[in-house]
Amino acid sequence: MSELLLMMLEFFKTGLFAVGGGLATIPFLQEMARSYGWFDTATLSTMIAVSESTPGPMGVNMATYVGYTTHGLIGGIAVTLSLVAPSIIVIIIIANMLDRFKDSRLVQNAFVGIRPFVTGLIAAACLDLFLTTLFRLDATELIGMVSWSHLVIFAIGLFCYQKFKLHPILVIVAGGVLGVLLGL
């Protein structure tokens, strides 16, 4: 398969699964950088800066940028069309079926589950770009520095404090108990 066709396929998949707009394309672009070497992390940061500072949707601008820098004008056009094609196809399908499924509990629940994952993907991509741009660190270096058991305890404490409005003393005691039980 030619490189341009492969790039078009990758951007088609990105357009199909990057739910949430331009920022949601960043994890896909990071994966392309790792898998194909079409650009590196520094170039990705530049692409984001250019895409954010030019008119138009960020994801479309990034697709055009990648296609153009690797395959010229034809690449820019082809890769951009590959990114937007899934949206056009899906919107046409949804428009035809909207009345039937707009109140579907299954569809609503699917989006309730998808939103946090998309938010997590965007946050991970932003963290990676933040670390790379400001500290020249790879996100995997940060992951090695995180105490995951402490992060879980933090999340449980935050959740309980916010959700159940527990007294701070109860949250602190619960954290101590979890620390003893987990051997931290």
Tens digits of residue pLDDT in 90-128: 888 888 876 777 788 887 888 788 888 888 888 888 887
Task: Give the largest Cα separation in the chain, rounded.
Answer: 64
| Alpha-helical segments (H) within 37-167 | 41-53, 58-101, 105-130, 139-145, 148-164
Model pLDDT for residues 73-86, shown as the tens digit of each residue: 999 999 999 999 99
**Would you say the pTM of this structure is higher than 0.75?**
no
At which residue do the structure tokens 């951009």 appear? 80
DSSP character at residue 103 = T
